[in-house]
Amino acid sequence: MKRQLLEPTLAEIERQSLTRRRITIDGFVERGNRLVTAVDGRTLVDFSSNDYLGLAHHPAIAAAMSACALRFGAGSAASHLITGHGIEHEALEEELAAFTGRERALLFSTGYMANLGVIGALADRGEWVLEDRLNHASLIDGALLSGARLKRYRHADPDDADRMLEESTNEAAVVATDGVFSMDGDIAPLSRLAKAAAIHRAWLVVDDAHGLGVLGKNGRGSTEELSADEVPVLVGTLGKAFGSFGAFVAGSRELIELLIQRARPYIYTTALPQPVAAATRKALEIAQREAWRRERVLALTERFRQAARSEGLPVLESSTPIQPLVLGSSAGALGAQKELLQAGFRVVAIRAPTVPRGGERLRITLSAAHTEEQVDTLVETLAEITERYRTTLS
């Protein structure tokens, strides 16, 4: 960008109602619950975080983090392959492998980096990477950065993926999909994708950032019913349901060894601080022990859906705690966000390019830390304001 274009560019973003703004949280109003926040002296109930199990503010997890920090310090001081790798990382990797039923797991600093790392390591220049159109930006960026040829199939359409695999005549290296789509909340057609990938001997990468800890009988996510053979590459994030920070890839011994050798976002970055790993270990233990957390968030999700449906709200079809309410324009979504703020709710407008134009929405997320009353009041408020901000498609 030419320097003289900086200001006009920002003005144009503003004109299109696309400016992204941060709201600074002053603190938490209820102990042990990060969803009731103080902003400019006002209390807001957060319905847009990814703290599905209500663990982000859990005292035992914070205690595990502080105890580890006092022992090992705040920083890891080097990358994993130099001197940054410690016993908390090692223990967490073993626990994540056991939790996901895989031979090995490898920690990454963020999910964004895990996806860049995995796709970069598995896809060679010129090979095809097939991705769902609505995949998370990090999976898309991973393919772009790898130099492979990115092909996007229709959303949640395994037949379209299969057709592209046929066309690729064995140049397809990777099929990658979100397990639960981050802005839509629907679940990918995983067993059909697994079959198509297996027939064409491509890797299936499932990024289950929003499914792990929440879905499945044991909280093992959207792939719980599938084998390690069907989903050879499983990516999970630790900053969402587990309320901590970081990410991991789980798979075979050889896959993990390849990532250690080849994944640049693993090799060339400072290791996740050990206190973060210690916090995640505690979170993983609590999430597994306290099944009521995922039962509760799913029950609240169902409560929200029933109430929203009886109010005639335009929520998308989703059985996960991600409940999008499509309003159809940036200005509409921002207007609704502002009114909800005045009513005491933090619900974030999602605009292009995060979602396609015309799909601008409020992304409402439920958490085990919400109360029934908060959910009911939210739906009542939405029922009052939605019509005014909705672009009616004619």
Ligand X SMILES: *Cc1c(COP(=O)(O)O)cnc(C)c1O
Residues labelled catalytic: 182, 210, 240
CB of 190 to ligand X, least distance (A): 14
Contact between 297 and 303 under an 8 Å Cβ cutoff? The reply is: no
CB of residue 343 to ligand X, shortest distance in Å: 27
The 7-46 contact track toward ligand X, x by CB under 6 A, reads: ----------------------------------------
Q: How far is the CB of 201 from ligand X (least distance, A)?
A: 25
Residues 246-275 binding ligand X (CB under 6 A) are 247
If binding is defined by CB under 6 A, does position 244 make contact with ligand X?
Answer: no
CA 266, 268, 274, 275 dihedral sign is negative
CA-CA distance, 313 to 320, in Å (whole number)?
17
- Calculate the CA 361 to chain-centre distance: 17
Q: Where are the beta strands (DSSP E) in 47-199?
A: 104-108, 128-132, 149-153, 172-178
Q: Which is nearer to ligand X, 321 or 332 (CB)?
A: 321
| 8 Å CB contact between 333 and 389 | yes
- Asked if 237 is part of the footprint of ligand X (rule: CB under 6 A), the reply reads yes
Could you tell me which residues come within 8 angstroms of residue 376 by beta carbon, excluding any fewer than 6 positions away? 303, 307
- Supply the minimum distance, in Å, between the C-beta of residue 322 and ligand X: 9
Interacting span for ligand X (CB under 6 A) from 9-17, 81-89, 207-215, 300-308: 207-215
Taking contact as CB under 6 A, which single stretch among the options 124-132, 205-213, 268-276, 315-323 is the one that binds ligand X?
205-213
Per CB under 6 A, contacts with ligand X among 107-126 are: 110-112, 115
Q: Which is nearer to ligand X, 92 or 247 (CB)?
A: 247
* Amino acid in position 254: E
Provide, rounded to whole angstroms, the least separation between the CB of residue 152 and ligand X.
15
**Amino acid letter, 368:** A
Determine contact, residues 128/161, Cβ cutoff 8 Å.
no
Residues numbered 83 to 112 that lie near ligand X (CB under 6 A) are 110-112
Rounded to the nearest 10 degrees, what angle do helices 158-168 and 190-199 cross at?
10
**With respect to ligand X, which residue has the nearer C-beta, 138 or 381?**
138
Which residues are within 8 A (CB) of 286 and not within 5 positions of it... i.e. 6 or more apart?
55, 58, 60, 61, 293
Residue type for position 394: S
| Residue 130 to residue 175: CA distance in whole angstroms | 5
CB of 310 to ligand X, least distance (A): 30
Work out whether 138 is an interface residue with ligand X (CB under 6 A).
yes
Amino acid letter, 96: L
Which residue in this structure is represented by tokens 């990454």? 108
Complex with ligand X: residue 88 or 339, whichever CB lies closer = 88
Closest-by-Cβ residue to ligand X is: 111
Which residue of 64, 176, 194, 209 would you call a contact of ligand X, by CB under 6 A? Answer: 209
Q: What residue ranges bind ligand X (CB under 6 A)? A: 110-112, 115, 136, 138, 178, 182, 207, 209-210, 237, 239, 247
